[in-house]
Amino acid sequence: LSHGPLKGRKSPPVIDVAPVWGGMLAFLAGPMKLMREATPKYGEVFTVPVFHKRITFLIGPKVSEFFFKAKDTEMSQKEVYEFNVPTFGKGVVFDVDHTTRAEQFRFFADSLKSNRLRMYVGMMVKEAEDFFSKWGDAGEVDLLEQLSELIVLTASRCLLGREIRETLYSEVTDLVHDLDKGMVPLSVFFPYAPIEAHRKRDAARKNLAKIFDKVIQARRESGASEPDVLQTFIDARYKDGSRLTNDQVLGMLIAVLFAGQHTSSITSTWTGLLAIANKERVMPALEKEQKDIMKKHGKDLDFDILAKMDELHFAVKEALRMHPPLIMLLRMAQVPFEVETSTGKKYTVPKGHIVATSPAFSHRLDNVYSDPNEYKPERFREPNPEDKAQFASFIGFGGGRHGCMGETFAYMQIKTIWSILLRNFEFEMVGKVPEPDYTGMVVGPTAGQCKIRYKRRVL
List of residues contacting ligand HEM (CB under 6 A): 77, 105, 108, 112, 256, 259-260, 263-264, 267, 320, 324-326, 329, 396-398, 402, 404-406, 409-410
Distance CA 352, CA 331 (A): 10
77 DSSP 8-state letter? S
Q: Which is nearer to ligand HEM, 253 or 301 (CB)?
A: 253
Angle between helix 246-277 and 98-111 (nearest 10): 60
CB of residue 209 vs ligand HEM: minimum separation in angstroms? 21
CB of residue 67 vs ligand HEM: minimum separation in angstroms? 8
Q: What's the one-letter identity of residue 359?
A: P
Residue facing ligand HEM at closest CB distance: 406
CB of residue 256 vs ligand HEM: minimum separation in angstroms? 5
Distance CA 57, CA 109 (A): 29
Q: Which is nearer to ligand HEM, 397 or 427 (CB)?
A: 397
Distance CA 44, CA 288 (A): 42
CB of residue 387 vs ligand HEM: minimum separation in angstroms? 14
Angle between helix 407-424 and 310-322 (nearest 10): 110
CB of residue 374 vs ligand HEM: minimum separation in angstroms? 20
Q: Which is nearer to ligand HEM, 22 or 227 (CB)?
A: 227
Contacts of 400-404 spanning 24+ positions with Cβ under 8 A: 400/67, 400/68, 400/69, 400/70, 401/68, 401/69, 401/71, 401/72, 402/68, 402/77, 403/68, 404/259
Q: Which helix (H) or strand (E) holds 262?
A: helix 246-277
CB of residue 155 vs ligand HEM: minimum separation in angstroms? 8
Distance CA 13, CA 94 (A): 31
